[in-house]
Structure 1
């Protein structure tokens, strides 16, 4: 904890003064362009990976980068998605999985989660991904986990489309969805090519070649 406190004090003394104007503007309002949904894993830091400034990303982080499908009792994730789309008018939503994801590994390897009932229940929102991944052949455990990570990104994008605010924005052409998988060791990102239904390096994805603001 002392390291965290020391870090804040260093931020306050060294970083904040040089960025004072930015924070003065952010104190009045926020206008993030994208909602970024990622895992709570400490190794995945959205702002670091995307090199974004404070105020650029509206972020949801939870175990397994999960978005429950819309239901009669919306929870915190649903409320955050709705606020991002309806109030903040974000133009893009990214669901980003990552390599060596503990949540996806637990599902892929059928790990016993009896001592973590809340986690066990939460991961049921990845059941569709689990069933698809189990139906495919895998050379080894790593391949099975990697496959689960990717299938989960696809499944959560499908869940996201059930949210009324998202469905409306997609119909109006004001919102674009993206599925990413970040590799911790290499620092690379694969992006879902929705037309081809496969993941390709982000650098060669059509979104990477789109003009700024398009």
Structure 2
């Protein structure tokens, strides 16, 4: 805890002072250009990866960067409502779904179902990834664990892009050119980011 408290002091003394005008401009409104959907994993830092400042990214984080299929429901839906707000209220120009290497959620989904029995809400959430998991289990030999994992992580990103296109307002804005969707795959240990090429059906290294 002390480390966090020290961080607060350092932020106020250094970072805030260096960007005082920026924070002042953000006082009354936010106008992020991008909705960034990624995993809750503590090793993934969207602003660090993209070198963006406060006010640029509207960030949604959840286990395994999942996007529930669109449906109208009276339930409390955190991810769905945040997507709705970002697109319809904030008017973001881009949506990025960013998966990553060594994803614990994807690994758990590939493992025995009983592994999550003591975490019922997590188990229920990961049911969203079952269609992807089932395809991977059929396509990749069971003894090639590493291949299954990275294929699961990448295929999961592509699946969430498909889910996003099932949101009527996202579909309309994408087709009209008002909104751009992109799938990223971040390698933790190398810092590399691979971007999904829809035409080629594969992830390609981002080189600027």
Give the aligned partner of residue 212 of structure 1.
none
Question: Per-residue deviation at 1:165?
Answer: 1.9
Matches of 1:8 and 1:83, distance apart in 2:
29
Secondary structure (helix, strand or coil) at the match of 1:180 reads strand
Are the counterparts in 1 of residues 38 and 99 from structure 2 also a CA contact under 8 Å?
Answer: yes
Do structure 1's residue 76 and structure 2's residue 78 form an aligned pair?
yes
**Deviation sequence 1:35-84 (CA, Å, 0-9, x none):** 00000000000000000011111100110001101112261111111111
Secondary structure (helix, strand or coil) at the match of 2:66 reads coil
Question: Per-residue deviation at 1:183?
Answer: 0.2
Secondary structure (helix, strand or coil) at the match of 2:116 reads coil
Query: 1:1-214 to 2 correspondence within 5 Å?
Result: 1-73=1-73, 75-110=77-112, 112-138=115-141, 140-203=144-207, 208=208
**Deviation sequence 1:105-149 (CA, Å, 0-9, x none):** 111233510000000000111122112211212462111110110
Give ranges in structure 1 of 5+ residues lacking alignment. Answer: 209-214
Are the counterparts in 1 of residues 32 and 57 from structure 2 also a CA contact under 8 Å?
Answer: yes
Give the aligned partner of residue 211 of structure 1.
none
Matches of 1:110 and 1:90, distance apart in 2:
39
Secondary structure (helix, strand or coil) at the match of 2:58 reads strand
Give the aligned length: 204
Matches of 1:55 and 1:108, distance apart in 2:
36
Are the counterparts in 2 of residues 34 and 58 from structure 1 also a CA contact under 8 Å?
Answer: yes
Moved more, 173-182 or 107-116: 107-116
> How high is the TM-score relative to the length of structure 2?
0.94
